[in-house]
Structure 1
Amino acid sequence: MTQKLTKTIVDSISYPENGQTFYRDSEIKGFGLRVGATSKVYIAESKVNGKSVRVTIGKHGIYTAEQARNQAKEILLMMSKGINPNDEAREQKTRGMTLQHVFQDFLIARKALKPRTIYDYKRIMGTYLATWNNKAIAEITKDMIAKRHTELGETSQAQANLTMRFLRALFNFAAGQYEDSKGQTLIPDNPVKRLSQTRAWYRVERRQTVIKPLELEPWFQSVMNLKNDAISQNRETIRDYLLLVLFTGLRREEAASMAWDNVDLQAKTLKVTDTKNHLDHTLPLSNFLYDLLEQRKANAVNEYVFQRAGGVGHIIEQRKQMAKVIKESGISFTIHDLRRTFMTIAESLDISAYAVKRLVNHKMNNDITAGYIIADVERLRDPMQKITDYILKCAGVKPPIKAIKLSKRGAIK
């Protein structure tokens, strides 16, 4: 339908019962009105680089017919120059998108992120990047990056690097996620590259700390002193979690998220399915671990071995109870230090390199011989028990006394 769109004409147009009806202005080609079941919206449409493009101007009532007509003239002029106004609007919207908005889109897109990783990312956003959360991502400059990296480095160089690597990932995600109609990125530059260009990344040596044999006894006793009380009903869960990590060498999240479905007390094994290298990892249970898990199973409240205090989900944060152990024992440690301790002890006991790698689920890349070795969990049982016995010996825990049978004559059998 073609006629001059005036207030009187637009007011007189009825709403269709179904679908939409379009009315074209008779004076300005490309200016029109889209009428739906409940609204009347002014539009401008034309071809840009051979493709039909339609731009929404606004609703009748908010825009008068004359205001919409003037707006249409400007839009149609842009389109005649090969400019897609929708791209312009989308670019403006993206450039105004906050860092927090990008982070939310990032979490939606990265469906396979582990809960602990999401927790760590949120902690970075809420702590080290908190003042930037509501800042438009396009306003974060190279100079700002360099300055914040230096500020964070005054407290922790490792955390400064970690924060900027995470921020770099957000910019890379934004560059791939937000595009114009031509497929061109709306975030063309990653300002974090300034740190590489100026070689400003901190050289942080990889931690090599372990709990030494002489430190195992005070550490073990301090862990065992974690008891539930009226203030905290989850101390014993953290206690058992720390012990399991030390006696298995599992990674932090692998142990924390372990489900009872993957613990076979009859076969005396446990299995980790969501591993760092994506390979299922089955370990035999030493006597100590079997007793620990058997007792936990008897008091299980949900599907996780290490449940939260409220009974929903698994433990995520252990720092408060770890701080108690550190203060009491005088031995500073991280969860990964326990894994390193397990590996260090295994190597010190002359356990074969293949067995050690199997125990800690390290890939044996480019090792032809390893490819012929069958990963049999029973072959790892003796090495696992040997490691456990050594840890308990250093911790001052005496092995249970075995009963000695006597013959009728009193001779020892």
Structure 2
Amino acid sequence: MAKVKFTAGRLAAFECPADKAQAFLWDVETPGLAVRATSAGVKAFVFQRPFNGQSPRITIGRLDAWRISDAQSRARELQRLIDSGRDPRQVKAESLAEDAAKRSRDTVGALTVAEVWPRYMAEGKPRRKAAWKPRYVADLLKAADPGGRPKKRGKGLTKPGHLAALMPLRLAEINQDVIRDWYRSEARTAPIQAARAVAMFSGFLGWCSTKKDLRDLVDRNAARASDLGDVLPGVSRRRDALEVDQLEGWFAGTEKLRNRVAAAYLQVLVLTGARREELASLAWANVDFRWKKLTIADKVDATRVIPLTPYVAALLRRLQDQRSTDELRNPFVFASNVSDSRHIAEPRGPHAEVLADAGIPHVSIHGLRRTFSLLGEAAGAPAGAIAQVMGHKPSAVAEGYRPRSTDALRPFLLQIERFILEKAKVDVPEEDSSALALRIVAGATKSST
């Protein structure tokens, strides 16, 4: 084993013999340090010393990247590891693993909300449910939308959603102070919608906390409403609904709407107590005129079946008869050619026209559902029957978990429909009539199917 004093000249002149794959030149000053030259012309500093009955060889680095003095210092460090009973190879492996872990932590720690949000949209869902309702998915997408695109209707650009300002932030930097500042900014123009966005984001943080690769990055309580009570608006139960004396003006106002789909939709909301999206997505395939039944989407169960009452049937038949060629290809009852969903998506505009025409103070779309519940009670229908038609869970106290059949519900829904139409001064059609006339009494314009 040749040992020489390492100099730049000697190492530059050292070559691997042509008949060998590799050759070594050992340093006389530093035990275990050598230069290895391969038949491919590559030269590198290596270290090799006995350890636990073996002679492991460790590459220090290429000759063109290391100075002789640095290689000698590194060889001495390796010798000290052996003297302390540690395997230099294991130490190197641990160091590489630690570096890789740090890079991984740095990478994960740099994750932004925008990078994780698509995964949340794909994997997230409510507890004990297979998936979110389509309406909530649309709300999540809208809340996170950056805006800035040309509007589909009207001029100008779309506005950012309430969560858009949080999207560029790193998950690891989101805490209650960040949420407070963000909410205060968003609440300047829309405090209620901003508060709902807080609830959405709280759900996102809660989902992140269930994932092994994300839970250490998030403060799941950063957007918890109970900890943000000093900035969030107080929760008050809404009680808006149409009053009995307002029904006549309200029904007359719907008859004046140019958009007949919206007019029918609003009236059916009042007469069935259905949720906004449940009714909007009603398909013709789920309207059974023969057996007088409607099968609609349900928030609690997948679907629910309710009786199809005479007046509602007349409204739907009129829509069916008045469909254009394009609408014949649309599967939805309350069709729309401007919404992406192909069914009515935003009924608040037409409803505002109705309220203004009738001189009625603001009543929300959900207030129409509340109207059905209150007028159902006034009509004398059992609370359990009203709840079942509306899709509420049965009450153990009031109903003993005894759901009624569709036919058993029919008399009560007929009772409610007659009560509402009588108070609205609208002709009540005969149940078995095939040509049901719809007419607003007391000066309103007459219309027939």
TM-score (norm 1): 0.70
**2:291 aligned residue (259, 263, 267):** 267
Cα offsets for 1:275-297 (capped at 9, x unmatched): 11125311111111111122223
**2:140 aligned residue (121, 125, 132):** 121
- Is 1:324 aligned to residue 348 of structure 2? no
- Is 1:93 aligned to residue 101 of structure 2? no
C-alpha distance in 2 between matches for 1:208 and 1:125? 30
TM-aligned CA distance change 1:133 to 1:276, over 3 Å: same
Equivalent residue, structure 2, for 1:216: 247
- Is 1:276 aligned to residue 299 of structure 2? yes
C-alpha distance in 2 between matches for 1:369 and 1:397? 32
Q: Give the C-alpha shift of residue 239 in structure 1.
A: 1.9
TM-aligned CA distance change 1:369 to 1:132, over 3 Å: closer
Cα offsets for 1:229-253 (capped at 9, x unmatched): xxxxxx2222222111111000111
Cα offsets for 1:313-352 (capped at 9, x unmatched): 3222223323333333333222210110000000111211
Equivalent residue, structure 1, for 2:265: 241
C-alpha distance in 1 between matches for 2:177 and 2:203? 18
Equivalent residue, structure 1, for 2:317: 294
TM-aligned CA distance change 1:79 to 1:297, over 3 Å: farther
C-alpha distance in 2 between matches for 1:140 and 1:188? 7
What's the RMSD between the two structures over aligned residues?
Answer: 3.6
C-alpha distance in 2 between matches for 1:90 and 1:105? 19
Give the letter for the 1:292 counterpart.
L
- Is 1:387 aligned to residue 416 of structure 2? yes
Q: Give the C-alpha shift of residue 174 in structure 1.
A: 2.1
Equivalent residue, structure 2, for 1:106: 120
TM-score (norm 2): 0.65
TM-aligned CA distance change 1:87 to 1:361, over 3 Å: same
Give the letter for the 1:161 counterpart.
A
C-alpha distance in 2 between matches for 1:369 and 1:389? 24
- Could you say what secondary structure the match of 1:190 adopts? coil
Give the letter for the 2:356 counterpart.
K
Give the letter for the 2:364 counterpart.
T
Equivalent residue, structure 2, for 1:80: 94
Cα offsets for 1:5-27 (capped at 9, x unmatched): 99x779xxxxxxxxxxxxxxx74
Q: Give the C-alpha shift of residue 308 in structure 1.
A: 2.2
Cα offsets for 1:179-233 (capped at 9, x unmatched): 17xxxx3324235257533643432211111011111222222222221xxxxxx
For the 8 Å contact 2:348–2:365, the answer to whether it is kept is no
Equivalent residue, structure 1, for 2:164: 130
TM-aligned CA distance change 1:102 to 1:316, over 3 Å: farther
C-alpha distance in 2 between matches for 1:401 and 1:281? 25
Cα offsets for 1:142-191 (capped at 9, x unmatched): 212112333444555433331111111111222223517xxxx3324235
| Alignment: residue pair count | 334
Give the letter for the 2:333 counterpart.
V
**Mapping for residues 31-180 of structure 1, pairs under 5 Å:** 80=94, 84-110=98-124, 112-126=131-145, 127-177=161-211, 179=213
Deviates further, 345-354 or 91-100: 91-100
C-alpha distance in 2 between matches for 1:194 and 1:387? 41
Q: Give the C-alpha shift of residue 90 in structure 1.
A: 3.4
TM-aligned CA distance change 1:336 to 1:148, over 3 Å: same
C-alpha distance in 2 between matches for 1:168 and 1:374? 35
C-alpha distance in 1 between matches for 2:96 and 2:224? 35
TM-aligned CA distance change 1:89 to 1:354, over 3 Å: same
- Could you say what secondary structure the match of 1:370 adopts? coil
Equivalent residue, structure 2, for 1:231: none
Equivalent residue, structure 2, for 1:335: 365
State the percentage of identical aligned residues. Answer: 26
**2:392 aligned residue (345, 351, 362):** 362
Q: Give the C-alpha shift of residue 101 in structure 1.
A: 2.5
